[in-house]
């Protein structure tokens, strides 16, 4: 049995080195808060970096061994999306992140695979970087946010990006960065994350389906982090909304629920009941193992968490822990 | 099987009588337009999207008979919430509406129960009107929005209101105002997502706010029903528990993980799928789920109670609790 983790982040060593002693990395800095915790600073935004974020690849591998994770599909820290910065800066940080991830994967090809980050504020630049990492660096795809400076991904300007991703066979992993849809209402209790991430994923599912992206790109490969959020649970009401649209005005020939199986979903749902529900709704061949390494919202002991479940069969566990990703990504 | 429905909307006859005569009802007037037109004023334009919104109590009862609903617990159509009005007007409007709903319940005691509207921009006035509504008028509680002029319910100023509701045994029914103050409005303008995703998101944020804000911890006997099955709160409860474990700000008001509080709340059954309803029941217990049809906005096949009875994954005992036993007990009807 193997385990392949589709949701594991990298805060690249080049950032840690450049920001040591108050230095800058493409204008981004780092400082320690009153309790000695590392904080990433980019313009007015601040992101707390957990202790493991600074670990070297060797330290990461030791932790993976402890957790029972054979392969991490690496993706950059979402704090480095940099969509709000000038395109040139986002291009430069994307290239730096992607090159370092590539170095990790080429050094330890049995332990790592690669997802990149892209300057999504400029679709042409995003396509160019996606081509570079897919064709030259043999990446498996890229991770992007649910919204690009307030825009959803069903905007017509992103259709060429989706076409390129489809043609390149890239897996696109959706993962929030910064504020979520909940942030304007309430910032307390970690709700922008604990509810907002799940809401953002649901909005992304709906915008890609209703916006016609999934119809326009039948071979597109998309994975939703955090189990796709509330999508599988709330799909009944989303279907009801579709039924309420007069037939002549419907863009999709079939209800949204029929698109559930067009996507992949990571397993980060925290309870066995929720994972069982997700499997029953989308099919076990669509659920893939994820951990959210190295953040505090990561699943604790993610491999054994799945292994000990009584309501999931061994065949289902194998599919989730490695077989689905082995087939999807060729690793 | 008896069917008691906690989630039924009302535009009061006192409004219709006034605006049909061409007059203002608290600053709102009838405007012609698409379909049945609009009731507009006070910064809002309420689309009359169902002819049933004009029904008299007697017409409502005919429709309830057709749908096999024995009792409707009535509360006002949420775009009419007066929280942003001048305080005095909001107080007077609440009294008018509450008197009318109490009149319906008095005239047809076996068919209607009522929930009050409160002038929530003024907590003291709201406590006073809730007391009048419950103790004098015989209403069962009140209907609340998810926010009051942008303020969330965990603000300390609202605690006396929750304490008062708890001591009166008043039932609080929480329901968002669609298309007015939804948190996700900016990103749900297309494809009807403000309703299909924005509304249940509001329900989930409300559940989280009542739990993490410590309101359920401080008011253990408070009786709350959340519309639309509480949205996806129960499905996402694992992530809320995890946040409680790893973030001190999530533990600020509660000594137990959020999931331990979710069965203090009640939820209507409007989950839009049998699988999701089953998940909700497994999470909170059949003792905490009730019929809520969203009358007159949702078309049920064949009817709200008929849909419930047709489900194959629920036992008869569970169906009876959801259909009438839980609300019989809570409302004393």
Predicted complex ipTM exceeds 0.95: yes
Q: Does any CB of chain A come closer than 8 Å to the CB of residue B190?
A: yes
Q: Does any CB of chain A come closer than 8 Å to the CB of residue B192?
A: yes
Q: Does any CB of chain A come closer than 8 Å to the CB of residue B17?
A: no
Give the pLDDT band (50/70/90) at residue A1: confident
* B247 close to A296: Cβ distance less than 8 angstroms: yes
Cβ distance of B193 and A239 shorter than 8 Å: no
Q: Smallest Cα–Cα separation from A131: which of A106, A180, A94, A103?
A: A94
Cβ distance of A191 and B212 shorter than 8 Å: yes
CA distance A60 to A293: 10
Instruction: Give pLDDT, residue A10.
Output: 98
Among A203, A211, A270, beta carbon nearest to B187:
A203
Q: What long-range pairs does A248-255 form, CB within 8 A, spacing at least 24?
A: A251/A210, A251/A211, A251/A212, A251/A215, A252/A209, A252/A210, A252/A212, A252/A215, A253/A215
CA distance A180 to A191: 9
Instruction: Give pLDDT, residue A260.
Output: 98
Helices (H) and strands (E) in chain B, counts: 13, 11
Domains of chain B: 4-12+53-331 (3.20.20.140)
Helix (H) or strand (E) holding B17, with range, is helix B13-20
Is pLDDT of A228 > 80?
Answer: yes
* B93 close to B5: Cβ distance less than 8 angstroms: no
Residue B240 dihedral angles phi and psi, to the nearest 5°: -65, -40
Q: Percent helix, strand, coil in chain B (nearest 5)? A: 50, 15, 35
Q: Smallest Cα–Cα separation from B209: which of B230, B184, B179, B228?
A: B230
- The CA-to-CA distance between both ends of chain B, in Å, stands at 15
Question: Taking the C-alpha atoms of A231, A237, A238 and A241 in order, what is their torsion angle to the nearest 10 degrees?
Answer: -170
Q: What is the pLDDT along chain B (333 residues), one digit of tens a residue?
A: 999 999 999 999 999 999 999 999 999 999 998 889 999 998 889 999 999 999 999 999 999 999 999 999 999 999 999 999 999 999 999 999 999 999 999 999 999 999 999 999 999 999 999 999 999 999 999 999 999 999 999 999 999 999 999 999 999 999 999 766 678 777 788 888 999 999 999 999 999 999 999 999 999 999 999 999 999 999 999 999 999 999 999 999 999 999 999 999 999 999 999 999 999 999 999 999 999 999 999 999 899 999 999 999 999 999 999 999 999 999 999
Q: Smallest Cα–Cα separation from A195: which of B182, B316, B234?
A: B234
CB-CB neighbors (< 8 A) of A199 in chain B: 184, 197, 201, 204
Instruction: Give pLDDT, residue B213.
Output: 98
What mean pLDDT is predicted for residues A1-21? 97
Instruction: Give pLDDT, residue A245.
Output: 86
Provide the 3-class DSSP secondary structure of residue B290: strand
CA distance B243 to chain A (A): 7
Cβ distance of B235 and A230 shorter than 8 Å: yes
* DSSP per-residue letters across A108-170: STTTEEEEE---TTSHHHHHHHHHIIIIIS---EEEE-S-BTTB-TTSGGGHHHHHHHHHHTP
Q: Where are the alpha helices (DSSP H) in chain A?
A: 13-18, 57-67, 87-107, 123-131, 159-168, 191-194, 196-210, 213-216, 231-243, 272-282, 302-307, 314-318, 324-329
Which residues 242-281 in chain B show a CB within 8 A of chain A? 242-243, 246-247, 249-250, 252, 271-273, 275-276, 279
Mutate to test the interface with B, among A151, A152, A194, A201 (most CBs of B within 10 A): A194
Give Cα B48 to chain centroid, integer Å: 19
Helices (H) and strands (E) in chain A, counts: 13, 11
Q: Does any CB of chain A come closer than 8 Å to the CB of residue B229?
A: no
- Provide the greatest CA pair distance for chain B: 60
CB-CB neighbors (< 8 A) of A195 in chain B: 201, 204-205, 208, 236, 239-240
Instruction: Give pLDDT, residue B16.
Output: 98
Neighbours of A49 (CB within 10 A): 19
Q: Residues A246-298: pLDDT tens digits?
A: 888 888 889 999 999 999 999 999 999 999 999 999 999 999 999 999 999 99
């Amino acid at each position: 049995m193997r385990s392949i983790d589709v949701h594991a982040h990298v805060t690249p060593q080049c950032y840690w080195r450049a920001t040591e002693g108050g230095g800058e990395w493409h204008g981004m800095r780092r400082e320690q808060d009153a309790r000695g915790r590392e904080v990433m600073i980019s313009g007015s935004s601040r992101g707390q970096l957990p202790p493991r974020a600074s670990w070297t690849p060797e330290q990461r591998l030791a932790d993976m061994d402890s957790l029972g994770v054979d392969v991490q599909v690496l993706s950059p820290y979402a704090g480095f999306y940099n969509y709000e910065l000038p395109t040139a800066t986002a291009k430069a940080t994307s290239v730096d992140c992607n090159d370092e991830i590539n170095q990790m994967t080429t050094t330890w090809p049995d332990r790592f695979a690669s997802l990149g980050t892209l300057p999504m504020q400029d679709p042409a630049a995003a396509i160019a970087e996606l081509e570079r990492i897919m064709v030259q660096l043999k990446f498996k795809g890229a991770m992007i946010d649910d919204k690009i400076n307030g825009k959803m991904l069903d905007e017509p300007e992103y259709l060429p990006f989706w076409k390129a991703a489809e043609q390149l066979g890239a897996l696109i992993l959706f993962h929030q960065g910064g504020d979520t849809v909940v942030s304007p209402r309430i910032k307390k209790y970690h709700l922008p994350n604990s509810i907002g991430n799940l809401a953002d994923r649901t909005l992304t599912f709906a915008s890609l389906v209703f916006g016609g992206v999934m119809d326009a790109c039948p071979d597109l490969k998309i994975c939703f982090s955090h189990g796709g959020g509330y999508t599988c649970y709330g799909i009944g009401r989303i279907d009801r909304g579709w039924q309420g649209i007069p037939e002549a005005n419907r863009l999709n020939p079939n209800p949204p629920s029929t698109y559930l199986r067009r996507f992949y979903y990571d397993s980060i749902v925290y309870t066995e009941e929720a994972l069982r529900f997700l499997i029953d709704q989308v099919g076990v061949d669509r659920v893939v193992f994820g951990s959210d390494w190295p953040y505090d919202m990561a699943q604790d002991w993610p491999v054994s968490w799945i292994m000990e479940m009584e309501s999931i069969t061994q065949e289902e566990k194998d599919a989730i822990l490695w077989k689905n990703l082995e087939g999807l990504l060729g690793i | 099987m008896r069917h008691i429905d906690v989630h039924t909307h009302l535009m009061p006859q006192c409004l219709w009588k006034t605006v049909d005569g061409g007059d203002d009802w608290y600053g709102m007037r009838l405007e012609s337009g698409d379909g049945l037109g609009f009731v507009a004023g006070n910064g809002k334009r309420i689309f009359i999207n169902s002819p049933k919104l004009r029904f008299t109590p007697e017409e409502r009862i005919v429709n309830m008979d057709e749908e096999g609903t024995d009792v409707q617990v009535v509360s006002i159509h949420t775009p009419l919430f007066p929280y942003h009005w001048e305080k005095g007007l909001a107080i007077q409007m609440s009294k008018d509406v509450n008197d009318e709903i109490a009149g319906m319940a008095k005239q047809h005691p076996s068919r209607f129960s009522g929930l009050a509207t409160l002038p929530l921009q003024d907590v003291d006035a709201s406590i006073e009107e809730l007391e009048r509504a419950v103790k004098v008028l015989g209403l069962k509680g009140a209907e609340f929005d998810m926010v009051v002029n942008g303020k969330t319910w965990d603000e300390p100023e609202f605690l006396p209101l929750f304490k008062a509701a708890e001591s009166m045994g008043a039932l609080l029914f929480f329901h968002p105002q669609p298309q007015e103050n939804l948190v996700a409005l900016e990103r749900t303008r297309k494809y009807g997502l403000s309703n299909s995703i924005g509304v249940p998101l509001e329900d989930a944020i409300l559940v989280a706010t009542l739990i993490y804000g410590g309101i359920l911890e401080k008011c253990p006997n408070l009786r709350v029903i959340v519309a639309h099955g509480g949205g996806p709160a129960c499905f996402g409860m694992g992530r809320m528990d995890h946040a409680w474990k790893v973030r001190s700000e999530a533990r600020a008001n509660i000594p137990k993980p959020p999931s331990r509080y979710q069965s203090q709340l009640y939820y209507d059954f409007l989950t839009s799928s049998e699988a999701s309803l089953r998940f909700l029941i497994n999470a909170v217990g059949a003792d905490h789920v009730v019929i809520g049809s969203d009358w007159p906005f949702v078309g049920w096949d064949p009817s709200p109670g008929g849909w419930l009875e047709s489900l194959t994954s629920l036992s008869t005992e569970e169906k009876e609790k959801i259909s009438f036993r839980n609300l019989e007990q809570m409302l004393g009807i």
